């Protein structure tokens, strides 16, 4: 007998959850936030790196004292990462957590809706 099957030969509760419409909805909602934000943040980061490599004079431009444009862009990377984290946390609490909570109750039932 397979480890993933119960003694009656039916799918385990986790497999049933994995095949459920709610789980597919949860994954689709997750991807709808993560993919665009990842693309945008990665693009922003590589833009910063490419400008620093191919136009070093522009990032050396002083803004205030010893602070230059490159330093400001570097600090903005951290600010963006923090903002994305806060935004994702709020978004997930509204969009993902209710559905995930319902799915957490399902493994014991072993049935697909």
In this model, does residue 13 exceed pLDDT 90? no
Looking at residue 108, its pLDDT comes to 55
Q: What is the mean pLDDT of residues 75-89?
A: 95
Indicate whether 112 pLDDT > 70: no
Burial 84-109 (b: 16+ CB within 10 A, else e): beeeeeebeeeebeeeeeebeebeee
In a domain, 3, yes or no: no
> In this model, does residue 92 exceed pLDDT 50?
yes
Domains in the chain: how many in total?
1
Give the residue numbers spanning the domain of 45.
13-104
Tell whether 95 is covered by a domain.
yes
With bands split at pLDDT 50, 70 and 90, how would you rate the model's confidence at 12? Answer: confident
| Residue 109 domain flag | no
> Is 23 among the domain residues?
yes
CA neighbor of 77 nearest in space, from 52, 45, 35:
45
The pTM of the whole model exceeds 0.75: no
pLDDT of residue 105: 80
**In the predicted model, what is the mean pLDDT of residues 84-105?**
92
Indicate if the pLDDT at residue 23 is higher than 80: yes
Of the two residues 106 and 4, the one the predictor is more confident about is 106
In a domain, 82, yes or no: yes
Residues 6+ apart with CB under 8 A from 52: 59, 70
């Amino acid at each position: 007998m397979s480890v993933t099957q119960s003694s009656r030969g039916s799918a385990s509760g986790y497999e049933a959850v994995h095949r459920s419409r709610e789980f597919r909805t949860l994954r689709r909602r997750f991807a709808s936030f993560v993919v665009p934000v990842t693309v945008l943040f990665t693009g922003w980061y590589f833009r910063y790196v490419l400008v620093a490599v191919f136009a070093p004079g522009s990032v050396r431009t002083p803004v205030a004292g010893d602070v230059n444009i490159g330093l400001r862009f570097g600090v903005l990377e951290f600010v963006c990462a923090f903002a994305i984290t806060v935004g994702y946390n709020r978004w997930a609490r509204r969009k993902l957590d209710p559905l995930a909570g319902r799915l957490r109750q399902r493994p014991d039932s072993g049935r697909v809706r």
